[in-house]
């Protein structure tokens, strides 16, 4: 099979369909080795063939020169033909003696019988004095013919041609080709075992990693791969997989806790509703009690549906589907609207809500969701502030970001709780937070919304002094350019 075909088939076998890397590696290795060996064998063969040809020609030329020396006496005779015929030694040599013109004077019985064209070729070689020609006899057997010229004093020169079959040379070349082919095949078959063995050894760590990863179940996510392969690449893969397992474990733990917290949160209003329904079932207490129960029921239903809405919003944000289509959001306007809403709750407690606009800022995003995030922060500020305190909301630009700062003089958040307050259902002071009507999702939702807008939420707080929430959003444009920038120190509290 020609090498190109073999290469094409091997390539097709490699490219088509999924195969083990070991097979692919072995095949590619064999293919490249076969190409290298074939090239090497071809070079060796052609160099050796040239040497064998040259050696055979040299032997033939030496032979014809020796013959001319041996035949010098008869060739110098006047009747050359008779002298040659009488030379018994000559009958065994495949020799022809010609005039310089090419006319054959004597042809020994051992000289091959040449067809017309070959004869003409020999005659031309005699005329031209061409040293070596290759001709075929009547049966097609190739012969090498060497020509030597003998100058004769006072007579025209004579040409002696000696023929020898090239069969031995061709046989030697065939043997050489056979030896090279066998050698290449032996090396290739040994290499296929070697290549497969090396590939298996090289891929053993991959199989180990695969087996270990398969063994890690959802219930054993804390397991890690403790495999040291001794290869930089595979050790890197193991480290990457371990890091991925860390992330999966963290998120699975979060998901489990979230599911437990959510069911716990849902249980309370459902139990309350069940109790109200049971009481209603006992009946007989008149209209006023029924009205009170219905009001309780409605409040619990509202709480339940708000919780379900919040859970849905978080699920959408987790999936990255919170903002369908971004719009221009006038952050200043949004802050004013939010302040107006919370003032309705703040004023009865003499809590003042002041808005300070350092620059009008427009951002890209969803006004509805950003309004919700602002409202969550502002409601918390009012909720956790003592009566008669004040809340300061500042909107402006900090470096290349739009920023809203919400500063209150409330109870503050203990340092231990600060890293957790953006977690879902986390309450720094559960009893108090439940009393104030919080579900523990307000900050988690605000944080998710802001992160969905490419921003971030930061908090600093000191117990008994107050808290500062900083909402950063990618800055798009200031309505009044150039906008004065806020300095962090001027808005941080606590």
Binding mask 463-482 for ligand ADP (x = CB under 6 A): ----x---------------
Tell me which of 122, 123, 370, 381 binds ligand ADP, using CB under 6 A. Answer: 381
The residue among 48 and 451 lying less far from ligand ADP, judged by its C-beta, is: 451
Contact positions with ligand ADP (CB under 6 A) in 128-167: none
Count Cβ atoms within 10 A of the Cβ of residue 332 and give its class: 0-12 exposed, 13-18 middle, 19 or more buried.
buried
Beta bridge partners of 136: 142
Distance CA 145, CA 328 (A): 99
380 near ligand ADP (CB under 6 A): yes
Applying CB under 6 A, the span of 37-45, 232-240, 366-374, 411-419 interacting with ligand ADP comes to 411-419
Binding mask 326-365 for ligand ADP (x = CB under 6 A): ----------------------------------------
433 near ligand ADP (CB under 6 A): yes
The residue among 160 and 382 lying less far from ligand ADP, judged by its C-beta, is: 382
Query: Does an H or E element contain 357, and which?
Result: strand 352-357
450 near ligand ADP (CB under 6 A): no
The residue among 359 and 376 lying less far from ligand ADP, judged by its C-beta, is: 376
The residue among 366 and 448 lying less far from ligand ADP, judged by its C-beta, is: 448
285: number of Cβ within 10 Å: 12
Task: Kindly report the length of the chain.
Answer: 494
Give backbone dihedrals phi and psi of 130, rounded to 5 degrees, phi first: -65, 130
411 near ligand ADP (CB under 6 A): yes
Q: What is the SS3 assignment for 231?
A: coil
Pairing of strands 466-474, 456-462: antiparallel
CA diameter of the chain: 163
The residue among 430 and 474 lying less far from ligand ADP, judged by its C-beta, is: 430
Binding mask 390-409 for ligand ADP (x = CB under 6 A): ------------------x-
In sign, the C-alpha dihedral spanning 421, 314, 448, 342 is negative
269 near ligand ADP (CB under 6 A): no
Q: What is the SS3 assignment for 397?
A: strand
443 near ligand ADP (CB under 6 A): yes
Instruction: Choose among 269, 190, 213, 238: nearest CA to 29.
Output: 190
Applying CB under 6 A, the span of 165-173, 229-237, 307-315, 435-443 interacting with ligand ADP comes to 435-443
Distances (CA, A) of 60 to 53, 63, 67, 161: 11, 5, 10, 10
Distance CA 213, CA 415 (A): 39
Calculate ∠ Cα 460-465-469, nearest 5°.
30
The residue among 427 and 453 lying less far from ligand ADP, judged by its C-beta, is: 427
In the bound complex, which residue of the shown chain has the CB atom lying closest to ligand ADP? 438
Q: Summarize as ranges the residues that interact with ligand ADP (CB under 6 A).
A: 376, 380-381, 384, 408, 410-413, 421, 426-429, 433, 438-444, 467
């Amino acid at each position: 099979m020609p090498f190109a075909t073999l290469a094409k088939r091997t390539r097709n076998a490699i490219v088509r369909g999924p195969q083990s890397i070991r097979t692919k590696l072995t095949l590619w290795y064999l293919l490249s080795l076969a190409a290298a060996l074939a090239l090497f064998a071809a070079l060796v063969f052609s160099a050796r063939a040239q040497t064998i040809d040259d050696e055979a020609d040299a032997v033939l030329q030496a032979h014809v020169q020796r013959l001319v020396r041996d035949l010098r006496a008869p060739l110098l005779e006047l009747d050359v033909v008779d002298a040659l015929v009488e030379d018994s030694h000559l009958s065994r040599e495949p020799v022809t003696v010609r005039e310089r013109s090419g006319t054959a004077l004597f042809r020994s019985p051992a000289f091959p019988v040449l067809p017309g064209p070959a004869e003409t070729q020999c005659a031309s070689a005699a005329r031209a004095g061409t040293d070596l020609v290759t001709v075929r006899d009547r049966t097609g057997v190739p012969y090498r013919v060497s020509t030597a010229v003998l100058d004769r004093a006072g007579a025209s020169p004579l040409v002696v041609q000696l023929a020898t079959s090239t069969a031995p040379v061709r046989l030697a070349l065939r043997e050489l080709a056979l030896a090279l082919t066998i050698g290449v095949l032996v090396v290739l078959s040994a290499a296929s075992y070697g290549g497969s063995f090396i590939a298996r050894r090289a891929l053993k760590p991959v199989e180990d990693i695969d087996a270990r990863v398969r063994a890690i179940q959802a219930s054993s996510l804390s397991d890690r791969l403790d495999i040291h392969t001794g290869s930089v690449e595979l050790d890197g893969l193991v480290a990457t997989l371990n890091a991925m397992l860390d992330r999966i474990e963290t998120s699975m733990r979060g998901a489990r806790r979230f599911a437990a917290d959510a069911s716990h949160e849902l249980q309370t209003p459902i139990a309350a509703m069940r109790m109200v329904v049971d009481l209603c079932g006992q009946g007989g207490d008149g209209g006023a009690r029924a009205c009170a129960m219905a009001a309780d029921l409605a409040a619990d239903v509202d709480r339940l549906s708000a919780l379900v809405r919040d859970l849905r919003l978080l699920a959408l944000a987790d999936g990255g589907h919170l903002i369908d289509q971004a719009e221009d959001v006038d952050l200043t306007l949004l802050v004013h609207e939010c302040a107006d809403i919370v003032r309705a709750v703040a004023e009865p407690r003499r809590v003042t809500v002041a808005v300070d606009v350092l620059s009008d800022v427009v951002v890209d995003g969803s006004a509805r969701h950003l309004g919700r995030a602002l409202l969550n922060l502002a409601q918390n500020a009012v909720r956790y502030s003592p009566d008669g305190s004040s809340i300061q909301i500042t909107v402006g630009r900090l470096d290349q970001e739009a920023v809203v700062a919400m500063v209150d003089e409330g109870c503050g958040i203990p340092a231990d709780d600060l890293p957790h307050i953006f977690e879902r259902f986390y309450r720094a002071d559960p009893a108090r937070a439940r009393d104030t009507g919080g579900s523990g999702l307000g900050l988690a939702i605000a944080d998710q919304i802001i992160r969905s807008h490419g921003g971030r939420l930061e908090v600093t707080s000191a117990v008994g002094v107050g808290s500062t929430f900083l909402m950063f959003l990618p800055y798009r444009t200031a309505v009044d350019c150039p906008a004065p920038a806020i300095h962090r120190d001027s808005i941080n509290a606590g």
